[in-house]
Structure 1
Amino acid sequence: MRRLGVAGVAAVAVLAVAPPAQAATPGWVSSHETHIGADPATVHLPPGRGPLPVALLLQGGNVPKESYTRFAKTVAGFGFAVAVPDHRRAVGPVTGLFPESLQLQATVDWATAENTRAGSPFAGRLDPGRLVLLGHSFGGAAGLFSLGNACTPPFCFGPVYQRPAALRAAAFYGASTGAPIANAGVPVALVQGDADGVNLPATARATYDALAAPPKAYVTVHGANHFGLTDTQTPPGARPDPTPQTLSQDDSIDTAAKWSALFLRASLGDQLAAAYIYGFGDAADPLVTVVHERG
């Protein structure tokens, strides 16, 4: 970690009181039920802001959308419309909640329609031209593979897939791949608990190293395990992490949400968020260690 000068120390002190793009208290964020394509979805909106970038959260395998409420509301408080669908499909002989690459374009299409539909709670609130991705575990892997223009099973089957032009950035938790990812043009953050016994930190770090292009960041959350961003440990449908979490659930959720949201904001041009992610944020937050390449 590099040393901070006087200006950096002052900035850290200010941030400790008022972080950039400070999240609204999750209770201030409104939640609306909708459908994105055929998928039931909850969309979380902060008060009095728009048009908002649309953040699609790709769930962990068989983890229901309700398990991400605190995380999604906290990210929304940083200035995003956070959409969390339940995407049910068959993967081989198993049918369950399994995200896929084709959800990206479906979300852009939904946002385009709802932003202009009379009577929609989202009318005038969405920016369909700015899509960002969030993801957990299987959903994070699906998001990583979606950054290229290849349809990669089991995250995509059937029709030819093309990455939407609206995609601007991505931040994934507890995610990795066994292959290099062609992310050129899309900044990527990997947020990883150092107590994750499902997606091992070494595997996540290898995925970060194999990302083709900066900007990219690798954020270690100390004391968090694989379910550090879900409302409870071992949400319904999930297999337990054999490694217990030592960080409180609220602290791990809020830390993962803050770093994910600020990385996305930095990637959309927020200079103060960029100063935090690529500058003094590591020193300001004792719960994380950050590696990055800004490019």
Structure 2
Amino acid sequence: MIWLEAVLFGAAVLALALALLLRRARRSGRVRRARRGVRAVEWTAAAAALVLAAAGGLVVWALPPVDFPEPSGGYAVGTTTVQWTDRDRDETWTEDPDDRRTVVAQLWYPAEPGTGTAGAPYLGRTAAEARVVTDAIADGFGLPGSLLSDAARARTRAAAGAAPVRDGAPLPVVVFSPGLGGVRGQNTAWAQELASHGYVVAALDHPFDSAAVVLDDGTVVRGRLSVPEGSEEEDRLVSEWTSIRADDMRLALTRLQEMDADADGPFADRLDPGRVVAAGHSFGGSAALHAAAGDDRFAAVIDIDGFPHEADGLALPRPLLVLVAGRGTGDAVADARYADAVTAALAAADGPSCALTVEGAAHLSFTDAPLYLPPVPSIVGSDGRTRPLATTADATLAFLDAALRDPAADPRAALAPFGATECDS
């Protein structure tokens, strides 16, 4: 009886918390693109509160144990986390003149089978770090950390500290930036799938932006960003934050090149400096565009459902892929504005560029969220828990293989099987 009452209470709290999360997300704006579709979902969450309170068993439906899909490629997947400091760049978020900008990056890569420790923790190097991160994410929305406890305990399909594969040609690299307040592990399923097909993915934590970043010495850096909706300062802040992230991505590329050149390091001669992609989700997608526009070391760009701020003034490398959530925001004006900005970004690219609309996808469909959030279509799309992850990875791989591995291939043709595509040559 006590167990049942606890389940029922937790279910009601879950549904109420979801409604509060979505209402808060709508107020913040999330730089116009994140947490899309929240208006319709508030009604769904309110109704879910009644249903869940009457049927505690649906808690499992709402918050299932996190089970990452097995990567489909031919390589085992390894992962490691590194910390990089830019000695030439001040940390603008602190007043200490001696502080220098530091980022934390997690690498997923093709690995030698049987090396490393299988089942690396999700969202942190350790279970304790993962709990710090999930608590910070929950706290950012005014929710109890217990709602993300399964995510904090989850294990991935990668082996921690595995040896990078030694055979074959140097590996192409994808530098990834998460959404506003996002963390380096939010696209783990996508990163593992790419790594199993021969790519190295370096995903970044952006201190003072990401919900929580745990540095090597144990220091926890909490996120400080908030967007004043409707404020005249919004455009200035977005430009400033985008610039910081773009510089973080360039720093990551420089450090990766140094790792490749380090004859005594595990990645010596394993990374291909001529095949590097800037990628990001939501706000990170905009940062990827700006990082690549200011650095010709990036050979291509992937913007995953991010508003391409000021893209019409950029000179982008080719090619460019923009993945668009087919469900939209629920706001016709906002969706039209986004469509215009995407068209401008495609026109700014120097060569083949495409926007692929993924039907049924919501904004969070492109992250790991479908694995552990309630399967409400306006939150995580309408294709189930694993199909959105597969679609995102398959389309990305088709684009990358055509852009980086086959000079004769047309990235636009490679994307045709995945849905409605708008291209600009």
TM-score w.r.t. structure 2 length? 0.52
Distance 1:262 1:218 in 2: 14
Q: Does 1:247 align with 2:383?
A: yes
Give the one of 224, 231, 244 matched to 1:95.
224
Distance, in Å, in 2 between the alignment partners of 1:146 and 1:253 is 25
Q: Is the 8 A contact 1:24 1:74 kept in 2?
A: yes
Equivalent position of 2:77 in the other structure? 29
**87 and 280 in structure 1: CA distance in 2 versus 1, 3 angstrom threshold:** closer
Equivalences for 1:39-118 in 2 at 5 Å? 39-47=103-111, 48=165, 49-89=168-208, 95=224, 100-118=245-263
Answer yes or no: is 1:168 the counterpart of 2:299. yes
Equivalent position amino acid for 1:144 in 2: L
Matched positions, count: 249
User: How far has the Cα of 1:206 moved from its partner?
Assistant: 1.6
Cα distance, 1:25–1:223 mapped onto 2, change above 3 Å: farther
Structure 1 residue 260: Cα displacement: 2.1
Q: CA–CA distance in 2 between the matches of 1:223 and 1:79?
A: 29
Cα deviation for residue 235 of structure 1 reads 8.2
- Aligned residue for 1:268? 404
The answer to whether the Cα contact below 8 Å between 2:285 and 2:306 also exists between their aligned partners in 1 is yes
Is contact 1:111-1:127 (8 Å) kept? no
Instruction: Work out whether residues 71 and 253 of structure 1, in 8 Å CA contact, stay in contact via their aligned partners in 2.
Output: yes
Find the partner of 1:209 among 321, 336, 343: 343
1:280 and 1:116 mapped to 2: Cα distance? 33
Measured in 1, the distance between the counterparts of 2:262 and 2:285 equals 31
- Whichever residue aligns with residue 185 of structure 1, its letter is P
CA contact (8 A) 2:285 2:308 kept: no
Q: Which 5+ residue runs of structure 1 have no aligned equivalent?
A: 1-21, 149-162
For residue 116 of structure 1, what is the amino acid of its counterpart? Answer: A
Retained in 1: the 8 A contact 2:278–2:291?
Answer: no
Percent identity among equivalent residues? Answer: 23
Go from structure 1 to structure 2 and tell me whether the alpha carbon gap of 1:262 and 1:119 turns closer, same or farther (over 3 Å shift).
same
Q: Deviations over 1:216-267 (max 9, x none)?
A: 101111111111121124989xxx9955510123211221122223223322
- Amino acid paired to 1:95: R
Letter in 2 for 1:183: A
Q: Alignment partner for residue 231 of structure 1, among 359, 363, 368?
A: 368
CA RMSD of aligned residues (A): 3.2
Offset at 1:23? 5.5
1:292 to partner: Cα distance: 1.7
Task: Please report how far the alpha carbon of residue 291 of structure 1 lies from its aligned counterpart in structure 2 after TM superposition.
Answer: 2.1
Q: Helix, strand or coil: the match of 1:291?
A: strand
In structure 2, C-alpha distance between the alignment counterparts of 1:243 and 1:85, rounded to whole Å? 24
**Whole-angstrom CA distance in 1 between matches of 2:273 and 2:308:** 28
Retained in 1: the 8 A contact 2:178–2:203?
yes
> Where in structure 2 are there 5+ consecutive unaligned residues?
1-70, 86-101, 112-164, 211-222, 227-240
Match of 1:187, as an amino acid?
A: P
SS of 2:104's equivalent? strand
Aligned residue for 2:21?
A: none
SS at match of 1:115: helix
1:118, CA displacement in angstroms? 4.3
- Post-superposition CA distance 1:51-71 (Å, at most 9, x none): 112210011111111221101
Say yes or no: does 1:259 pair with 2:395.
Answer: yes
Q: What secondary structure sits across from 2:397 in the alignment?
A: helix
Task: Name the stretch that deviates more: 227-236 or 205-214.
Answer: 227-236
Larger % of helix: which? 2
Partner of 1:197: 329
Query: Which residue matches 1:16?
Result: none
Q: Answer with 52-61 or 241-250: which moved more.
A: 241-250
| Matched-pair contact (CA < 8 Å) for 1:171–1:189 | yes
- 2:83/2:104 contact within 8 Å kept: yes
1:36–1:221 Cα change, 3 Å: farther
- Counterparts in 2 of 1:127-138, with a 5 A limit? 127-138=272-283
Counterparts of 1:78 and 1:187, CA distance in 2: 20
Answer yes or no: is 1:291 the counterpart of 2:425. no
1:126 pairs, out of 271, 277, 289, with 271
Pair 1:202–1:128, CA change in 2 (3 A): same
**In 1, distance between residues paired with 2:290 and 2:414?**
31
Aligned in 2, Cα 1:181/1:251: closer, same or farther, shift over 3 Å? farther
